Structure 1
Amino acid sequence: MSIDSNKLFKDYVADLKNYDEILKPTKEINKNWTQLFDNIEAIGSDELHELQSEIDWLMAENGVTYNVYNDPNGLHRPWQLNAIPFIIHENEWSEIEKGIQQRAKLLDLILKDVYGERKLIKDGIIPPEVFYEHRGFLRQCDQIEYTTPKNLMIYSAELSRGPDGRMWVVNDRTQAPSGMGYALENRFTTSRITSELFQNIHVKQPSSFFNDFSKMLMDAAPEGVENPNIVILTPGPHNETYFEHAYLSSLLGYPLVKGNDLIVRNGFVWMKSLKGLKKVDVILRRVDDSFVDPLELREDSYLGVAGLLEIVRNKNITVINPIGSGIIENSGLVPFMNAICNYFFDEDLVLPQIASWWCGQEKERTFVLKNIKKFVVKRIDRSNRESLYFCEFLSEKEIDTLKEEIIKNPFRFVAQEKISFSSAPNYVNGKLEPRKVVCRTFSIAKDGCYTVMPGGLVRVASERKQLRVSNQRGGISKDFWIVSDQKQENIQQYTWSKSKNSGASDMNDLPSNTAENLFWSGRYLGRALTTSRFIRTVLNNMNNERYNTRKSESEILVYLFKAVTNITSTFPGFVGKGSEKTLENPLKELQSLILDKNRGGSLAQTLNSFNNSYYTLRNLWSKDMWRVFDSIKKLWKDYDQTKEYSLNSLIKLLDRTITRLIAFMGLIEESIMVNQGLLLYFIGLQMEQATMNIAKSRSLIVFNYEDYLNYEILEAFLNSHESLNIYRYSYQSYLSVENVVNLIILDKTYAKSLHYQLNRIQKDIARLPIPENSIGLNECQNKIAEACYIMDSINSETILTTNKDNSLRENLEKTLSDLSDLLHETSLAISNTYFDHTYQQTQMVQQKIEN
């Protein structure tokens, strides 16, 4: 098959100088790619364009993101997946697989040696500075022994095809290799959207690899542990690959924890759960080496667990990969790798590397400095992402500065031959363009050796002429196909037993940070919904006044404006100093209360707070929930707080927001079981709704209005509560304060009444696990019981009595004030009882861990 007649390949070879994956020198398509492009021709270019659009849509719908710090488009950048996969035949892959297995075994031996006997240094195979000048070498990890057959349990190799047509190793990833989850999500997406491209192509599937991965985690537990408790340690939702952390947590079924979810006690690591402490046996970490233990490593780290390293030394926990494994992510090792391979295995490396010169040796340094324009120069560690110099593009001044750095710290630099790696087709704007390619595949320890994922993660450069392939620079991913001549099983199994006798998880398996975020998700959602509805009611009343200018309605608006400030606590607003001026342009103030994300109590800030809680919990939520959540984000993205909006446009925003919030709340119960943490969401939701219910009642119905105002105030109150129709159906009478209080405050059966909400909170709190060493009722149970007692004791006849001047219902105000205080105290008691993250240890002697 030739490309000359194919419109998709227009201008494909215009500036093509190096090896291209799909083309022979004759411009014919390579055999491995022929069937794929037969399939593309069969579906046509228009359909291919639709498939790419569907992929983009699904990635956004499923919330697949890659976090980029200081990105002007926002932190959570959508993950990009191109419709055209990357293909390697299994015959070639089998040789690559052998090379990866060899390299993983070799790096495992290097890791054992550098923190053990150090024979490589003693026997002169590696200069000591290669290790000791690398910031990944942690002296605190010296002589630690492990119970697992391999120290290096997970290894990731970055590969690219060199000028000889073979796959070369570009980088080694050993601390906390990322990309496995993205690779699997890529496969799920292409299987769903681009099934036509798979026609008559036998693609190897990664399901058995992930089964081995789960088994490896279980088998890594310390000796004597039958049913290990495994957790995934994440730096948190702002980390670049947090999506993957949450994805693997959801896929594997292991809790996703942050450093302050874990604590060291009595020689073991424990997870703080609602009931108490639960022993942890295996940590799959996604936190870099120096941050994992602030007691022995970086004292300023809040990402790790104080004392973890000592528990590792005592073999009471397994950390994957071992702390200190960043030392072998070391480009300074590259010039010596073949010699190391011969030293350990008496054989050469299977996979070639880039020709490299370590500047710590005088002869090599002299050669590099003399020919520096020919090289790519980098530091031996990855401490600075930008410490990579394409010297041919540097100015003379920049070259001189770089030379000075090399002379000053020669041990920290390595020079590598500039290689133009292969390109592969990327579908862009209706045609195919060649883009530079880097592949990342994964290997895990299994049965004393290593097993390799069939495929992995492929990234291509963001632009046609871009040399560097980087997610930070806008790189695009591809599905990675290992194709076979033999038919493959299409039905894949991605469920597994977490232990030999595993039962259903419960709230004792819930990390304390997760529990707290569930609680606050409920509170933020309750606050956002109540705030949206009340401000919408006020805006609708303003809209009505345009057609009717009776004095009573003007007075009503003033009362409603003041109620907005009191309910949202956005003082001074309509009631404090300067309120007269604010009342002259109430729409400006209301717009601020809706859109100003920097204003405490505003709807925008509440939604932003919920946004943060949501991301922390994304391993728990369903894809449908993500879609609703994302639709809220997209809706609000179009609104700028600095612009002025009409009354109707703000009402429309609130209408659409309320609908989406209700949809989101309806989906929550489908994502997580009550005894697995949903109970905390319910408690938070009911507590916020009860608190806002009290705030609205105190703002609107504790005052005794004149008759001509009373009806309008009560109608607005019920409208904001979405209870007007229920009131009419229940009482079939003129609006009265007595009936409104009976419905909204005293009714035991109405789900939106304060009485019902307090009883629900009490019942749900009683279902929470009793903390260890607790005797009798805890404080949160006592406080809510006191609130329920007050509610049960209310006399409906005396609660509405007014003061001497007949302006205020004093008993109602006093009761609501007491209930508000008790709800606040209940919330504090819940936090103190179940969400205590304050434990912190500090170093007695400061360790010097360089940035």
Structure 2
Amino acid sequence: MIVDRLRDHRATVLSSPLPSQKNVPITTATAASDPSPTPPTPPLSLADYAAKANRFDECRSAQGSLRTCWKSIADEVASLGQSGLNDRESQIEQLIRENGSTFQVDTGEGTQTRPWQLATVPIAIAEQDWGRLASGLTQRTRVLEAVLADLLGPQRLLRERVLPPELVWDNPRFLRVYHNLPVSAGHRLHLTGFDVARANDGGWWVTGDRTRAPSGLGYLLENRIVHGRVFPHLSRTANVRRLASFFGVMRSHFRSLAPHQNNNPRVALLTPGQGSYRDFEDAYLARYLGYTLVQGRDLAVRGERLHLKTLGGLLPIEVLWRHVSDRKCDPLELDPQSSEGVTGLLRCKRGGQLAVVNSIGSVITEMPALIPFLPAAAKLLLGENLQLPSVATYWCGAAKERQYVLDHLDELVVRDAFAVNDTRPVIPENCTADEKHALIQQIKAEPNRFVGQQRLSHSVTPVWHQERFEPWHVSLRTFVLQTNNSVEVLPGALARVSPNEDLLSNSPVQGQLSQDCWIVSEKPVDHETTLLKTDHSTIVLRRSGAELPSRVAEHLFWLGRYVERCESIARLLRTTLARLAGEDDLSELPEMSRLVAALAAVGQLEPDYVIEGLDGAMPQLDSVLPSSVLDTSHPRALQSAILSALSNATAVRDRISLDAYRIFQSVHADLAGTKRNVTPNVSRALERLNRLITHLLAFSGLTAESLTRTHGWRFLLLGRRLERADQTAELLLATMTRPIADEVGMCEAILDATDSLMTYRSRYLSLLRPAPTIDLLVTDETNPRSLRFQLNDIQQLLYDLPTDPGRVALGADERLARELQHPLLIADVATLTEVNSSGKRAQLQQLLELVQEKIPLLANAIAGRYLIHTAPEQTLTGDREQTLDEPLLPPDESQG
């Protein structure tokens, strides 16, 4: 029986109680009363860090000597010392923030996005030691491939009772539609992940198989790149096996899967989308590998071919690397509620017109309940003994194993038998009596749904924590690529470390500290860079742009709007705060009342400040305005616009440059990350606004000088032009339509808030008057800040966007743009400046109100023509008009 075979492993895999973590200082400080000079601080040494008793140490041997593969790291640690390591730790944190590397943390009340966590010092494993593990992983990949082929084919394992039929027929993740689906290049498993750990004797154990779409590959790559930047000399001289060759082989293999075998097939990475735990990693991998990042709504099936929907038409996709759950891939034949896949995907697969990585249905072989049956399956299907042992696993569907689990609950971890990450594993030892009783009743009621697994004693590795080295437990996620004629094991792994080894049983993207994993060779490894064959295939030259997916165009459009919104609000706030910080009394600044009205109009102040008689009862502006810079509660506040801009930039980070994305990360870190215990004041607010405007101008410079003039650039610029026209009209309505006695200060403030003051002075010197101010901001076609400039640019951008060649009439968006443009073309500045008997500039007010009325309609018309099919109708955050908003996507239910 299974229990008899697995009980022999208990002595090795059962964990001992976690020792207490005592703060043992590395050095002892000299007593303050000692008059003698302070002795020099001894150099840090990895050989001296506090070990953990009865645990395999990755860094030191059982005799306490440093392992050879750690020598280069130990030398670097000794040369850097405590201050140097602290400095490297800060550099790593900064690089991760700049790169926007994030992961999803399960807080128990939902998920929260946090920066990725990378340890300062890597973990080193000798190449010879790694080779033994790689050999076992290679065989295990072939075994799982054979098992999957059998379960989705002849099902010999079930007929000969090697596997209990309940593992398939009771498995909610097995669907009959998976049976006999065509395979690509003879394989169903192309990229496989394995979670492995070392027990106390130093032997490798597999704790889980990931055959659907293993996560962590992008984080592993990010860890290596960040460490390479922080320790550039060390990574080159320590004989560390490189990762690039594995990714090169993977890219070549995916290309070879294309059914039509053209030289440069389109490979798309299908991601669940924003809000998914895979959000960062999928964008990172797509950018690194040069793949098209797509969501289900970007795709369409025509006949038996899968296509990418773009503004210029449909583009065929040959290979789909899916990171979407099996049952969500095709709402027609699988889950009808799914919005992550595409209708007709299985039809493409059956017709042989599409390669899917990994094959749909591969989720079956990652179920924990399969683990105890793998040795027998390997013997039957391949005639081989399984090289790598698995963590002792007991399926409760068998009576003897179920009784063993119930008798030894405190020694085990209880998991779902069929899924790896839908629910967290239960550690009965940590449960209350009532929780344990409820668990026992669940196991007895539905035994097929549960497995019990022994709690492994993970090996330990030194981790730089709180300015000293501590021995933390380590677990590895390894990756294996199965090509047409070989199996490639990635020379490295995603290492996770924790002082509490029970936490390592969770998903690798659930928040444990990670480490870069180095496979150290005894010889230099430079020759590995020449292993890949050079591709001499010809690429047809072209000018791209029409292949822009509508979803990406939508996010770029809203990115442009929110960036412009941030800048307009920030400039107006800065102009007003600068006057608050000046020497003049507010009663001596007649323009202040109009600036306050403008701030209320754009949602930065309560409307009560504008109502005569109520403003005196409101809090002072010098306390309210600085606080509004950091306000996150109001939907129209500056912070809301910043977060919305960051959200849209995140959605298209595979389409914008890293420098552009880092700008938004810096903006968010500077404002959203400001310490809440610091009392805001005018000076601090002005400083933050200056930095924000500088960052936004840097983004404008990047888009102007680095973004190719494709449709993506046009949608980004369209968003900016529409929002700038709207914000400028709003500002002028609040300030210039009802003149005040002395408009000099008012004109100066408006010109300052619209970044037009220097232009004005270069033309008219210091003589400030309403007429030239209105001309510069309304009718001057040469000023990039004027209303006329925005409408002229919008007209040209719409003209350059793709149009149905059979249509001869203007579209609704083009008609609205011309209706807006015409009044600005014929406007007379003298007429706009005239004040009527009611004390208003009626013509100016009428023109500005027309702009404010038509801009939302124009935005809707553009969305209706190009974007509306990508998401439900929504609204700009906190704005008055009903337009499109950000698509809200449900998170994927399974994390692998």
- SS of the residue corresponding to residue 67 of structure 1 reads strand
Q: 1:221 to 1:372 in 2, by over 3 A?
A: same
Letter in 2 for 1:168: W
Matches within 5 A, 1:132-147: 132-147=169-184
User: Could you tell me how far 1:281 is from its partner in structure 2?
Assistant: 2.5
Question: 1:518 Cα deviation (Å)?
Answer: 0.9
Separation of aligned partners in 2, 1:850 and 1:606: 29
2:120 aligns with one of 72, 79, 83 = 83
Q: Distance in 1 between matches of 2:92 and 2:73?
A: 18
Deviation at 1:247, TM superposition (A): 0.7
For the residue of structure 1 that corresponds to 2:856, the secondary structure is helix
- Residue matched to 1:832: 864
1:245 Cα deviation (Å)?
A: 0.9
- Contact kept in structure 2, 1:524 and 1:606, CA below 8 Å: yes
Aligned counterpart, 2:642: 607
Q: Distance in 1 between matches of 2:295 and 2:527?
A: 36
- The residue identity in structure 1 corresponding to 2:585 is Y
Deviates more, 1:207-216 or 1:33-42: 33-42
Q: Is the 8 Å Cα contact of residues 196 and 206 (structure 2) preserved in structure 1?
A: yes
The 1:582–1:129 alpha-carbon spacing in structure 2 relative to 1, beyond 3 Å, is farther
The CA deviation string for residues 577-608 of structure 1, in whole angstroms up to 9 with x for no partner, is 99556766445664565443332322121112
Q: After superposition, where does 1:796-811 map in structure 2 within 5 Å? A: 796-803=829-836, 805=837, 807-811=839-843
Q: Contact between 1:276 and 1:772, CA under 8 Å: does it hold in 2?
A: no
Give distance in 2, aligned partners of 1:773 and 1:497: 41
**Structure 2 counterpart of 1:662, which letter?**
L
Q: Which runs of 5+ in 1 are unaligned?
A: 841-848
Over 3 Å counting, the alpha-carbon distance change for 1:100 and 1:669 in structure 2 is farther
Seen in structure 2, the aligned counterparts of structure 1 residues 438 and 346 have a Cα distance that, compared at 3 Å, is: same
Post-superposition shift, 1:126? 0.5
Report the alpha carbon displacement of residue 124 of structure 1 after superposing the two structures with TM: 1.3
Q: How far 1:502 sits from its partner (Å)?
A: 5.4
Q: 1:280 aligned to 317, 341, 348, which one?
A: 317
Q: Which residue of 2 aligns with 1:846?
A: none
Partner of 1:686, secondary structure, is helix
Equivalent residue runs for 1:247-262 within 5 Å: 247-262=284-299
In the alignment, structure 1 residue 336 sits paired with structure 2 residue 373? yes
> How far off its partner does 1:679 sit?
2.2
Match status 1:153 vs 2:190: yes
Closer, same or farther in 2 for the Cα pair 1:645/1:78, shift >3 Å?
closer
- Map 1:177-576 → 2, pairs under 5 A: 177-198=214-235, 200-223=237-260, 227-382=264-419, 386-463=423-500, 468=505, 471=508, 474-489=511-526, 501=539, 503=541, 506-544=544-582, 546-547=584-585, 549-550=587-588, 553=589, 555-568=590-603, 572-575=607-610
The answer to whether the Cα contact below 8 Å between 2:368 and 2:420 also exists between their aligned partners in 1 is no
Whether 1:820 and 2:852 are equivalent positions in the alignment is yes
What's the Cα RMSD here? 3.3
Structure 2 letter corresponding to 1:780: D
SS of the counterpart of 1:172?
A: strand
- Of residues 64-73 and 76-85 in structure 1, the stretch that sits farther from structure 2 once superposed is 64-73
Q: Distance in 1 between matches of 2:535 and 2:726?
A: 43
- Aligned pair 1:637/2:660, yes or no? no
Shift, 1:503, TM fit = 4.3
- Three-state SS of the structure 1 residue aligned to 2:478 is strand
Cα deviation digits, residues 240-260 of structure 1 (max 9, x gap): 232211111111222222222
**1:682-701 → structure 2 map (5 Å cutoff):** 682-701=717-736
CA contact (8 A) 1:59 1:79 kept: yes
* AA matched with 2:517: F
Deviation at 1:337, TM superposition (A): 0.3
Task: Give the aligned residue type for 1:176.
Answer: A
SS at match of 2:143: helix
Shift, 1:573, TM fit: 4.7
Shift, 1:775, TM fit: 4.3
| Contact 2:546-2:710 at 8 Å conserved across structures | no
**More displaced 10-residue stretch of structure 1: 481-490 or 685-694:** 481-490
Moved more, 782-791 or 4-13: 4-13
Structure 1 window deviating more from structure 2 (721-730 vs 486-495): it is: 486-495
Q: Distance in 2 between matches of 1:438 and 1:420?
A: 10
Question: Which moved further from structure 2: 393-402 or 159-168?
Answer: 393-402
Could you tell which deviates more after superposition, 625-634 or 592-601?
592-601
Contact 1:523 1:684 in 2 (8 A): yes
Taking a change above 3 Å as real, the CA distance of residues 52 and 315 of structure 1, as seen in their structure-2 partners, is same
Q: CA deviation at 1:188?
A: 1.5
Other structure's SS at 1:389 match: coil
SS of aligned partner of 2:587: coil
Q: State yes or no: 1:747 paired with 2:785.
A: no
Q: Distance in 2 between matches of 1:809 and 1:817?
A: 12
Q: Is the 8 A contact 1:593 1:599 kept in 2?
A: no
2:312 and 2:547 in contact (8 A); partners too: no
Once the two structures are superposed, what CA deviation does each residue of 1:316-346 show, in whole Å capped at 9, x if it has no partner?
A: 3232222222111111111110111111110
**Retained in 2: the 8 A contact 1:358–1:364?**
yes
- The 1:383–1:807 alpha-carbon spacing in structure 2 relative to 1, beyond 3 Å, is farther
For 1:403 and 1:716, the matched residues in 2 are separated by 72
- The separation in 1 between residues aligned to 2:200 and 2:549, in whole angstroms, is 50
Contact kept in structure 1, 2:477 and 2:494, CA below 8 Å? yes
Name the CA shift for 1:39/1:599 in 2 (closer, same or farther; >3 Å). closer
Distance 1:114 1:758, change over 3 A: same
How is 1:46-61 mapped onto 2 (pairs within 5 angstroms)? 46-61=83-98
Structure 1 residue 439: Cα displacement: 1.2
What residue identity is the alignment partner of 2:719?
Answer: G
How far did 1:183 drift?
1.4
Q: 1:772 & 1:171 partners in 2: Cα distance?
A: 55
Give 3-state SS (helix, strand or coil) of 1:272's partner.
strand
Amino acid across the alignment from 1:135: P
- Report the secondary structure of 2:120's partner residue: strand
Structure 1's consecutive aligned runs of 4 or more residues displaced over 6 angstroms after TM superposition are: 3-6, 71-74, 464-467, 493-499, 640-644
CA deviations 1:489-509 (Å, max 9, x no partner) are 189699997986354572223
Partner of residue 843, structure 1: none
Measured in 2, the distance between the counterparts of 1:564 and 1:164 equals 68
Distance 1:42 1:384, change over 3 A: closer
What is the Cα deviation at residue 105 of structure 1? 1.9
Please give the secondary structure, in 1, of the residue aligned with 2:783. coil
- Taking a change above 3 Å as real, the CA distance of residues 30 and 384 of structure 1, as seen in their structure-2 partners, is closer
User: Aligned AA for 2:764?
Assistant: Y
**Aligned residue for 2:697?**
662
Distance across 1 between alignment mates of 2:834 and 2:59 = 86
Closer/same/farther in 2, CA of residues 6 and 563 from structure 1, 3 Å limit: closer
Instruction: Measure how far apart 1:229 and its partner are.
Output: 2.2
The 3 A distance-change label for structure 1 pair 448 and 275 is same
% identical aligned pairs = 30
**SS of equivalent residue, structure 2 residue 192:** strand
**Structure 2 residue matching 1:507: 3-state secondary structure:** coil
1:326 maps to a residue whose letter is V
Shift in Å, 1:45:
4.2
Tell me how far apart the structure 1 counterparts of residues 655 and 859 of structure 2 sit (CA, whole Å): 23
Task: Supply the distance in 1 between the matched residues of 2:529 and 2:753 (Cα, whole angstroms).
Answer: 50
- 3-state SS, counterpart of residue 509 of structure 1: coil
SS in 2 for 1:508: coil
Per-residue Cα deviation, 1:746-773 (whole angstroms, up to 9, x for no partner):
2222222222222122222222222576
Other-structure match for 1:169? 206
**Aligned residue-pair number:** 835
Q: Structure 2: which 5+ runs fail to align?
A: 1-25, 28-41, 873-891
8 Å CA contact 1:354, 1:416 repeated in 2: yes
Amino acid at match of 1:711: V
**Any conservation in 1 of the 2:50–2:469 contact (CA below 8 Å)?**
no
**Cα distance change, pair 368–69 in 1 and its aligned pair in 2 (3 A):** closer
> Partners of 1:176 and 1:329 in 2: how far apart?
10
* Offset, 1:57: 2.4
Question: Cα distance 1:783–1:473, how it changes in 2: closer, same or farther (>3 A)?
Answer: closer
The one-letter code of the counterpart of 1:616 is: A
Change (3 A) 1:76 1:676: farther
